[in-house]
Amino acid sequence: MSDTTTDRRGATASPKISVRDVKKTFTLKNEEFVALGGVDLDIADNEFVTVVGPSGCGKSTLMNILAGLDEPTAGEALVDGVAVDGPGPERGVIFQQYALFPWLTVRQNVEFGLKTAKVPRAERRERADYFIRMVGLEQFADALPKMLSGGMKQRCAIARAYAVNPSILLMDEPFGALDALTRVKLQEQLLDTWSQEKRTVMFITHDVDEAVFLANRVVVMAARPGRIFDVIDVNLPYPRTEDVRLSPEFGELRNRVWHSVYHQSTATAGSSDHRTASSSPTT
């Protein structure tokens, strides 16, 4: 496989998200570090894309650029054909560390974005309650985050992101800190809400199973420099039930993704960055 990072499916008619040769370098003590070395990716409207790859390969960096929290060194990120310039309410972000406001109750957290959008009080309340119900936190609407478990916090963060009705959801390892059981539940719940209210989702994860289970398409990244290594289509039907999870097709895809993530050095044998990719762990 060459080190070109073109999305093999080619561009769809009008991609919702479009990343064009995005590069990102960080300068650390007058040493340049290439976090992203030319990434091209198109994500179609209502598509669910998962991104996997070794630690430090630039997944979060890519997401931050799409979220408008960080700027690319070169190239551009387009949303609906318009270059990203700062964060916007049409792009909801869910962080790995929940990032709830600890001094606000669950309901106030969910209302935060509505308040900044100056949604009138009554409507705000109604919408917040709707999404709190959606994630099953209605009994904790008036609780502070410190009283919630990790999974509940993450559900609250999901409700908060959904409440402003973004057409894009960017999720950075949102279930990373959760136990397996909660994780599976939230995955199913996420797909449930996604099929009810279609949105374009970019979901970063470390977990190969999770990547395959959720996605229309799995993007595998590689490190040093951060780049897209492989794109694997997941042609499994939704809703993704337990049967799907246990099917041989799922297993096959899972193996492919697994191989792509964990045997990048053998697969890239011959490419110029082979040595750096396989040696020295990333930060």
Residue 220, strand partner residues:
52, 230
Should residue 60 be labelled a site residue for ligand ATP when binding is judged by CB under 6 A? Answer: yes
d(CA 259, CA 171): 24
Should residue 64 be labelled a site residue for Mg ion when binding is judged by CB under 5 A? Answer: no
4 contact choice in other proteins, ligand ATP, Mg ion, none (CB below 5 to 8 Å, kind-dependent): none
Should residue 56 be labelled a site residue for ligand ATP when binding is judged by CB under 6 A? Answer: yes
In the DSSP assignment, the letter for residue 283 is: -
282 contact choice in other proteins, ligand ATP, Mg ion, none (CB below 5 to 8 Å, kind-dependent): ligand ATP
Nearer to Mg ion, 110 or 221 (CB): 221
CA dihedral 142, 194, 81, 205 (to 10 degrees): 80
Q: Name the minimum Å distance from CB 257 to Mg ion.
A: 18
Q: Are strands 227-233 and 17-28 parallel, antiparallel or unpaired?
A: unpaired
| Tokens at 50, concatenated | 């998962």
- For 169-199, b/e burial (b = at least 16 CB within 10 A) is bbbbbbbbebeeebbbbbbbebbebbeeeeb
35 contact choice in other proteins, ligand ATP, Mg ion, none (CB below 5 to 8 Å, kind-dependent): ligand ATP
Binding-site member from 17, 35, 156, 178 for ligand ATP (CB under 6 A): 35
Please report, as residue ranges, which positions from 112 to 151 form the binding site for ligand ATP (by CB under 6 A).
none
Q: Name the minimum Å distance from CB 221 to ligand ATP.
A: 7
The rounded radius of gyration (Å) of the Cα atoms in the chain is 19
Task: Tell me if residue 23 falls in helix, strand or coil.
Answer: strand
d(CA 93, CA 233): 24
Would you tell me which residues interact with other proteins (CB under 8 A)? 67-69, 86-89, 91-93, 95, 97, 99-104, 112-113, 116-117, 144-146, 160, 164
Nearer to ligand ATP, 81 or 281 (CB): 281
Residues with Cβ within 8 Å of 209's Cβ and at least 6 positions away in sequence, in order, are 245, 254
The residue type found at 105 is T
Should residue 61 be labelled a site residue for Mg ion when binding is judged by CB under 5 A? Answer: no
Nearer to other proteins, 5 or 154 (CB): 154
Q: Which stretch binds ligand ATP (CB under 6 A): 10-18, 51-59, 104-112, 178-186?
A: 51-59
Binding letters toward ligand ATP, positions 226-245, x by CB under 6 A:
x-------------------
Size of interface with ligand ATP, in residues (CB under 6 A): 15
The residue type found at 240 is R
Should residue 60 be labelled a site residue for Mg ion when binding is judged by CB under 5 A? Answer: yes
Q: Name the minimum Å distance from CB 268 to Mg ion.
A: 22
- For 129-149, b/e burial (b = at least 16 CB within 10 A) is bebbebbebeebbeebbeebe
Q: Which stretch binds ligand ATP (CB under 6 A): 3-11, 50-58, 188-196, 261-269?
A: 50-58
Size of interface with Mg ion, in residues (CB under 5 A): 1
d(CA 223, CA 210): 20
Binding site for ligand ATP (CB under 6 A): 26, 28, 33, 35, 53, 55-61, 226, 282-283
